[in-house]
Amino acid sequence: MTNGHPIRAEEFELFALGVFPGEESASIQAHIDSCPECARKLAEARGRIALLALAAPEQNPPAVVKQRLLEKVRAEKSSTIAPARVRETRPSAPWWNTVWAPAAVALAIATVFLWISDRRLDQQLQQIQQATRTYQAQTEHAQALVSVLAAQDTVTVKLDATPAMPKAWGSVKYNPRMGMMCYTADLPEPPPDKVYQMWAVPMTGNPVSAGVFMPAAAHNGQMLAKVPTGMDCKWFCVTVEPKGGKSAPTGPKVLVGTL
């Protein structure tokens, strides 16, 4: 007690740092609350302590100290939260989850996008390959047709209608040296599940199939067939056969031509 004040001037710093025992500290605080002079001195003491703290060289505390401090802060925080809130609160995710979650989503989107692009490119490639194959086949077909039609030793055989289809007609261009024949035919639509089949019939041996066809395909002399080279053909005929054709003629003859 100094001049009616319970604390000496040099003790204000200690009081501000909380060094005084609880009971004494409480009575001093009660005085300070009603004594403007002591309140001013306490405020000055707190200011000096703050300045000292700022002036003190910065030091990195050991990791274990930091960890304990954080634990303490967390414990205090959770104790201030109402129990109901605590139950509602989920365990907090590590901070890097906030980075990884969007990154994972972006990666997933990119993966899906690449997968779709890859599939699209694959489909485009398949379409191009298919178109190339079709083009190659058409080119080869055209080249073979030209070579058969242009060859000096290609013979033309007119195909005559039979009583089965009186209005039908056709024509065969045959080259025994090349073993190639191309033909044109004007025929009505065959019965359901039936096709037309062209036959090359040699002097000796069984008729050789020169392919099955539908009327539309044979309209413009587009049909081309490979037959054994050097075959001595006696005549040609077209029969009506089940879809897919037969290894030997079974159906009615609709066109016949003799060499």
CB of 44 to Zn ion, least distance (A): 13
Residue 178: enclosing H or E segment and its boundaries? Answer: none
The answer to whether the CB of 168 falls within 8 A of the CB of 184 is no
Nearest to residue 183, comparing CAs of 144, 157, 152? 157
CB of 91 to Zn ion, least distance (A): 51
2 or 80: CB nearest Zn ion: 2
38 or 181: CB nearest Zn ion: 38
Residue type, 72: K
The sheet with strand 223-226 has its strands ordered as 208-213, 194-202, 233-242, 253-258, 155-161, 169-175, 180-186, 223-226
Q: Which residue has the tokens 């077209």?
A: 238
29 or 184: CB nearest Zn ion: 29
Other Cβ atoms within 10 Å of 245 Cβ, number: 17
Task: Please write down the HEC assignment for all residues of 206-246.
Answer: CCEEEEEECHHHHCCCCEEEECCCCCCEEEEEEEEEECCCC
CB of 97 to Zn ion, least distance (A): 55
Tokens representing residue 233 in the block: 């053909």
38 or 208: CB nearest Zn ion: 38
CB of 50 to Zn ion, least distance (A): 22
SS3 177: coil
- Which positions touch Zn ion (CB under 5 A)? 5, 35, 38
12 or 236: CB nearest Zn ion: 12
CB of 7 to Zn ion, least distance (A): 7
